[in-house]
């Protein structure tokens, strides 16, 4: 048997151990990425073999959380892909406005930048008061950051530029307070946001949604898991509801593709077709 | 001096005009090229399917080759257009933060399968020293990387392909590569393939500049990929270099500026290095030819023969408006295969005339037509009361967008269409054409608004009646069966809600109701109203569109004979269920779908249901109403979530024993544990299973 095949077995065992011990299921994550991250984690921790890692992870919850963080890249930014927000403003918000109240779900919200960005947009379009926003992630530590809404001040330059690129109507500084080298997002933006832990691999539908954001999360999943998650979204969305994916993700060639029409391909915004 | 300056300006203006013409020319040209390809691809595909089973194995293979070559040609056309756009500076960069790991992930996800199928190993790795993110245009970077990796896989038969994201090596020669200052991320794509001769390494990037025409075929994929990649790399403030020895594989390295803003924000500026531009070099001869071709295309082509001499009454027919006689022929035989007679027109005017004269069952419409274009034909058909109900399907080289649906088409296929798309289009037309007339009642007191609504939803197979008061509406409903009601809330004689109640009291079978109102409403009002209406639409800029969607949804539902809402479910209550009758359950959930479904089920069992849409409301209701026997508690809710609510309930002496069942979307054992800790007696996973819910309620009420 080749070394590569043995490594495969070791990784299978590691993922199985993580699942049985902690309930986090990475077995259907995109394999190549998991392999790469495991190798990097080994060298960073100075561990000799995957089996050694498996052994330690089984007994050390702290090591598990840093491994889990390694598996799920949490990069995000305020008004990431500004053009997508522009499309939201122009093509999606006017439709959201036709519901007396509407719900938004940020699935895999990471540290919350995306959630605050959309909240700002909804406020500027004067529909924030009609919204309920769910921000979920399976990683409690990023979720805590999201709840706090405190970001490094040196990231605000990019954020301001993005905000303008997204068609922002005010001055971006209206939305945060700078303190001790950090920026705190304005508390009123949080009024209608519910932060909650939700794992897309194991958990189910929890409410009817009008707009679902799931950006840059599906890329880490294998095809089967992507389909499962897209179906979960499909069950959650109302007829005519919107799905917004990351710039590398698409519903083309997935099992739900024919139930959606493209609102804007580049912004990866899709609309669920009305169907009985 | 001044003279010289104005001279210069003039020259510059001329130049930019010339480049604009070139781009436009290329865009038009690519449309012109796609038209014949459309028929070619379709017919080759049809032959390859060998439906009649009369072709030899070899003939089927030939047809497949024709199809494959045609597809290659189509790709090439797209690439030419791409390159022309870049060279003309007509490409806009969209810089944003890009994570290196995400790029790596994208590449391995995209190519893993392809490499495995060829028996190659694909290794993608990120050097720990590599910059972790950059500010650049993700899509363009990916376009470059995909091109390089695809080539590497293509030209390697044994061994593997390795992609490494790393910091630039010490020996990187910025000046030679024509790169600016700043920091870079390098991505190397190495293969163990055939390699490239040193003297050929220079030319593989030059579009149409290869010394030997075969070079491009051997090294360049469809030919222009490498040229495009190099241009893009320059635009992003970077470069591409190649190191290779024949027989030992090649390594292409892309350098990407960590901040692509400088070049990116000013894409029109030509990259520093002087390079031959293929547009300039090769345009002259092609230019003349194609002008002639363009002129030709504008002349109306001869119409193909159709069935107009041969239609007896009652026969179904489709009108084809298409100026490409070859594609028209294909559609013609498809009509016959589908049991339709066929009419054909090669211009917009002729098409419109035929539509008005013959009133066909459906229309297939091209957009680029000599004279009156497709959009105008569609518009004219929709304005004419005799033709507005006829379903129209667009087939055009123009990209499909929701525009076409908004203008009234039932579908839009982009050429070249393949046989599945063709099939789907015919099915759609047949389906729409088969639906009979539907009837909708619009209840609205403002005449202007009413007319508006009627014009949005009315027409053709939808007949609309109007009522300006509640009394008139009731009258109409007593006389006629409607498939759907569109109801404004503020009526002069009676509020919309009262109207619904009155109808219910009369025992009338009320069709689906869509509330169409300008009023804002509170969540409570919304919940109450949703009890007996299907949906609520608030008027606004985009509300007509949603109205149309929802109305067609209900009209369609009637066709599929969904059970009417009124259908009584006759159930034999088991003894154990009978004991549930009269008990009061509070459902706490902000998801209306769940509350309604649960409420409907429990009412069926004779239970009384009260609702709260968050924890705080639930506490209030419990205070006001001491008679609650059991609580169903959702967890993820705004204002106060389920955990908090349960803790607060348990903190009250008189409520410690109140049975609470948590409804949760969370599946982990720890999450369920959390529910119990917060005070739930038990939990049920969402979506709620009806039988489990009933048996669980029974358990907790029996105690
Ligand atoms: C790259 S971030 C995306 C953040 C943000 N949506 C954006 O596009 O900027 C990916 C996030 O997905 C989360 N994630 C990964 N797997 C998940 C799962 N199974 N359930 C819920 N969240 C998950 C990670 O914790 C991480 O915060």
* DSSP secondary structure letters along B291-334: HHHHHHHHSPPPPPP-SGGG--TT--EEEEE-S-HHHHHHHHHH
Please compute the mean of the pLDDT values over residues B16-31 and round it to a whole number: 69
Higher pLDDT, B32 or B550: B550
Instruction: Tell me which H or E stretch contains B95.
Output: none
The predicted pLDDT at position B268 comes to 36
Q: In what order do the strands lie in the sheet with B160-166?
A: B121-126, B160-166, B184-191, B250-257, B239-244
Q: Considering only B117-121, B168-172, B459-463, B566-570, which range has the smallest mean pLDDT?
A: B566-570
Mapping DSSP onto H, E and C, the string for B633-700 reads EECCCCCCCHHHHHHHHHCCHHHCCCCEEEEECCCCHHHHHHHHHHCCCEEEECCCCHHHHHHHHHHH
Task: Inform me whether the pLDDT recorded for B490 exceeds 80.
Answer: yes
Structure tokens at B555: 């009209």
Q: Which residues in chain A come in under a pLDDT of 70?
A: 275-276
Task: Inform me whether the pLDDT recorded for B425 exceeds 50.
Answer: yes
Residues 620-639 of B with CB under 8 A from A: 634-638
Higher pLDDT, B488 or B549: B488
Cβ-based contacts of B591 with chain A (< 8 Å): 206-208
The predicted pLDDT at position B568 comes to 32
Residues in chain A: 276
Task: Inform me whether the pLDDT recorded for B572 exceeds 50.
Answer: no
Q: Is there a cis peptide before residue B695, judged by omega within 30 degrees of 0?
A: no
Q: What is the pLDDT of residues B660-671, one digit of tens each?
A: 999 988 877 778
Q: What span, in angstroms and rounded, lies between the C-alpha atoms of B500 and B481?
A: 16
Cβ–Cβ gap B541/A94 under 8 Å:
yes
Q: What is the pLDDT of residues A4-54, one digit of tens each?
A: 889 899 999 999 999 999 888 899 998 888 888 898 899 888 898 999 999
Higher pLDDT, B301 or B687: B687
**pLDDT tier at B1 (50, 70, 90 boundaries)?**
low
Q: Is there a cis peptide before residue B692, judged by omega within 30 degrees of 0?
A: no
Please compute the mean of the pLDDT values over residues B263-288 and round it to a whole number: 34
CA distance B115 to chain A (A): 13
| Binding site membership of A233 for ligand 1 (Cβ less than 6 Å) | no
Task: Inform me whether the pLDDT recorded for B424 exceeds 50.
Answer: yes
Higher pLDDT, B205 or B512: B512
Chain centre distance of CA B264: 28
Mean pLDDT, all residues of chain B: 79
B463/A contact by beta carbon, under 8 A: no
Burial of A145-176, coded b for 16+ CB within 10 Å and e otherwise, reads bbbebbbeeeebebbbbbbebbbbeeebeebb
Q: Ligand 1 mean position to B97 CA, how many Å?
A: 16
Q: What span, in angstroms and rounded, lies between the C-alpha atoms of B99 and B321?
A: 49
- Whether the model clears a pTM of 0.95, i.e. scores above it, the answer is no
Residues 221-240 of A with CB under 8 A from B: 235, 239-240
The predicted pLDDT at position B539 comes to 87
Q: What span, in angstroms and rounded, lies between the C-alpha atoms of B484 and B551?
A: 7
Our CA dihedral for A223, A224, A226, A229, rounded to 10 degrees, sits at 180
The predicted pLDDT at position A235 comes to 92
The predicted pLDDT at position B432 comes to 74
Task: Inform me whether the pLDDT recorded for B212 exceeds 60.
Answer: no
**pLDDT tier at B305 (50, 70, 90 boundaries)?**
confident
**pLDDT tier at B543 (50, 70, 90 boundaries)?**
confident
For residue B354, give every residue at least 6 positions away whose Cβ sits within 8 Å of its Cβ, in sequence order, or none. B308, B319, B343, B345, B360
Please compute the mean of the pLDDT values over residues B273-278 and round it to a whole number: 35
Whole-number percent of chain B with pLDDT over 90: 20
Task: Go through the domains of chain A in sequence order and give each one's CATH number.
Answer: 3-71 (no CATH), 82-272 (3.40.50.150)
Task: Inform me whether the pLDDT recorded for B178 exceeds 80.
Answer: no
Instruction: Tell me which H or E stretch contains A6.
Output: helix A3-22
Q: In what order do the strands lie in the sheet with B392-396?
A: B341-345, B317-321, B362-365, B392-396, B411-414
3-class SS of residue B162: strand
Helix B690-702 and helix B592-604: axis angle, to 10°?
60
Residue among A70, A139, A195 to mutate when testing ligand 1 (max atoms within 8 A of CB):
A139
* CA proximity to B396, closest of B454, B341, B348: B348
CA distance A42 to chain B (A): 12
Q: Considering only A39-53, A81-95, B71-85, B640-654, which range has the smallest mean pLDDT?
A: B71-85
Q: What span, in angstroms and rounded, lies between the C-alpha atoms of B315 and B503?
A: 43
Task: Inform me whether the pLDDT recorded for B220 exceeds 60.
Answer: no
The predicted pLDDT at position A15 comes to 94
3-class SS of residue B207: coil
Burial of B136-153, coded b for 16+ CB within 10 Å and e otherwise, reads bbbbbbbebbbbbbbbbb
Q: For residue A80, give the ligand 1 atom closest to its CA.
A: 9
Q: What span, in angstroms and rounded, lies between the C-alpha atoms of B384 and B60?
A: 47
Q: What span, in angstroms and rounded, lies between the C-alpha atoms of B470 and B498?
A: 9
Task: Inform me whether the pLDDT recorded for B277 exceeds 60.
Answer: no
Please compute the mean of the pLDDT values over residues B561-573 and round it to a whole number: 33
Residue of A nearest to B550 (CA): A274
Task: Inform me whether the pLDDT recorded for B342 exceeds 90.
Answer: yes
Q: What span, in angstroms and rounded, lies between the C-alpha atoms of A97 and A80?
A: 24
The predicted pLDDT at position A233 comes to 96
Q: In what order do the strands lie in the sheet with B484-487?
A: B462-467, B438-443, B484-487, B513-517, B535-538
């Amino acid at each position: 048997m080749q070394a590569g095949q043995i490594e495969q077995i070791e990784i299978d065992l590691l993922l199985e151990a993580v699942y049985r011990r902690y309930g986090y299921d990475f077995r259907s994550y995109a394999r190549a990425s998991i392999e790469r991250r495991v190798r990097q984690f080994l060298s960073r921790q100075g561990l000799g073999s995957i089996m050694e890692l498996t052994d330690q992870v089984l007994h050390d919850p702290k090591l598990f959380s840093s491994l889990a963080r390694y598996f799920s890249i949490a990069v995000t930014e305020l008004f990431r892909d500004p053009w997508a927000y522009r499309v939201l403003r122009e093509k999606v918000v006017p439709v959201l406005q036709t519901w007396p109240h509407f719900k938004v779900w940020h699935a895999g919200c990471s540290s919350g930048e995306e959630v605050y960005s959309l909240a700002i947009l909804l406020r500027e379009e004067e529909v924030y008061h009609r919204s309920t926003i769910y921000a979920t992630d399976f990683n409690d530590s990023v979720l805590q950051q999201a709840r706090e809404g405190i970001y490094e001040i040196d990231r605000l330059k990019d954020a301001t530029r993005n905000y303008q690129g997204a068609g922002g109507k005010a001055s971006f500084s209206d939305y945060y307070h700078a303190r001790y080298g950090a920026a705190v997002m304005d508390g009123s933006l949080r009024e209608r946001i519910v932060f909650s832990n939700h794992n897309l691999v194991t958990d189910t539908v929890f409410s009817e949604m009008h707009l679902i954001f799931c950006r840059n999360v599906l890329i880490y999943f294998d095809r089967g898991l992507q389909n499962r998650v897209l179906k979960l979204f499909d069950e959650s969305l109302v007829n005519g509801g919107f799905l917004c994916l990351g710039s590398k993700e698409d519903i083309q060639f997935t099992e739900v593709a024919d139930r959606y029409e493209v609102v804007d391909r580049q912004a990866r915004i899709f609309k669920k077709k009305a169907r009985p | 001096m001044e003279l010289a300056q104005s001279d210069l300006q003039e020259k510059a203006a001329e130049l930019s005009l010339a480049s604009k013409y070139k781009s436009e020319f290329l865009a038009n040209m690519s449309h012109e090229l796609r038209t014949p390809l459309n028929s070619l691809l379709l017919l080759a595909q049809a032959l390859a399917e060998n439906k009649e089973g009369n072709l030899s194995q070899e003939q089927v293979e030939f047809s497949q080759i024709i199809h494959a070559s045609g597809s290659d040609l189509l790709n090439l056309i797209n690439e030419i257009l791409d390159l022309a756009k870049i060279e003309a500076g007509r490409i806009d960069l969209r810089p944003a933060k890009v994570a290196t790991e995400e790029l790596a992930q994208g590449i391995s996800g995209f190519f893993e399968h392809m490499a495995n199928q060829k028996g190659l190993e694909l290794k993608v790795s990120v050097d720990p020293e590599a910059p972790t993110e950059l500010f650049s245009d993700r899509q363009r970077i990916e376009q470059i990387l995909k091109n390089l990796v695809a080539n590497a896989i293509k030209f390697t038969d044994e061994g593997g392909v390795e992609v490494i994201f790393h910091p630039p090596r010490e020996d990187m020669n910025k000046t030679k590569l024509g790169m600016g200052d700043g920091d870079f991320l390098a991505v190397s794509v190495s293969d163990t393939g055939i390699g490239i001769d040193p003297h050929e390494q220079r030319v593989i990037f030059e579009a149409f500049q290869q010394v030997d025409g075969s070079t491009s075929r051997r090294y360049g994929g469809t030919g222009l990929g490498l040229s495009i990649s190099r241009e893009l790399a320059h635009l992003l403030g970077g470069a591409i270099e190649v190191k290779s020895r024949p027989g030992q594989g090649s390594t292409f390295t892309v350098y990407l500026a960590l901040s692509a803003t400088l070049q990116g924000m000013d894409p029109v500026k030509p990259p520093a290095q002087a390079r031959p531009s293929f547009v300039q070099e090769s345009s002259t001869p092609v230019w003349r030819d194609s002008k002639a071709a363009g002129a030709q295309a504008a002349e109306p082509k001869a119409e193909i023969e159709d069935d107009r001499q041969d239609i007896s009454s009652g026969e179904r027919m489709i009108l084809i408006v298409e100026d490409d006689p070859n594609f028209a022929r294909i559609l013609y035989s498809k009509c016959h295969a589908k049991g339709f007679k066929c009419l054909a027109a090669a211009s917009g005017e002729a098409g419109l005339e035929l539509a008005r004269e013959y009133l066909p069952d459906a229309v297939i419409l091209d957009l680029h037509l000599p004279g009156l274009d497709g959009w105008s034909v569609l518009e004219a058909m929709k304005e004419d009361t005799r033709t507005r109900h006829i379903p129209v399907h667009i087939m055009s080289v123009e990209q499909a967008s929701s525009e076409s649906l908004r203008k009234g088409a039932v579908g839009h296929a982009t050429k070249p269409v393949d046989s599945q798309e063709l099939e789907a289009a015919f099915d759609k037309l047949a389906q729409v054409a088969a639906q009979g007339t539907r009837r909708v009642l619009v209840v609205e007191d403002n005449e202007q608004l009413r007319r508006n609504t009627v014009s949005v939803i009315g027409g053709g197979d939808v007949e609309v009646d109007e009522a300006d008061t509640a009394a008139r509406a009731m009258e109409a409903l007593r006389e006629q069966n409607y498939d759907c009601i569109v109801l404004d809330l503020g009526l002069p004689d009676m509020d919309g809600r009262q109207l619904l109640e009155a109808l219910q009291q009369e025992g009338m079978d009320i069709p689906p109701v869509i509330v169409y109102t300008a009023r804002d409403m509170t969540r409570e009002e919304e919940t109450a109203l949703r009890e007996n209406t299907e949906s609520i639409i608030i008027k606004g800029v985009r509300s007509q569109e949603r109205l149309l969607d929802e109305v067609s949804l209900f009209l369609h539902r009637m066709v599929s004979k969904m059970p009417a809402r009124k259908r009584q479910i006759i159930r034999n209550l088991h003894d154990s269920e009978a004991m549930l009758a009269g008990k009061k359950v509070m459902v706490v959930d902000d998801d209306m779908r769940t509350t309604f479904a649960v409420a409907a089920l429990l009412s069926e069992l004779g239970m009384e249901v009260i609702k709260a849409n968050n924890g705080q409301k639930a506490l209030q209701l419990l205070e006001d109403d001491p008679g609650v026997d059991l609580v169903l508690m959702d967890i993820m809710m705004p204002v106060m979530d389920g955990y908090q609510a349960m803790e607060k309930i348990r903190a009250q002496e008189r409520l410690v024993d109140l049975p609470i069942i948590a409804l949760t979307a969370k599946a982990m054992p720890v999450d369920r544990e959390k529910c119990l800790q917060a005070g739930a007696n038990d939990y049920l996973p969402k979506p709620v299973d009806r039988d489990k819910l009933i048996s669980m309620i029974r358990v907790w009420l029996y105690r």
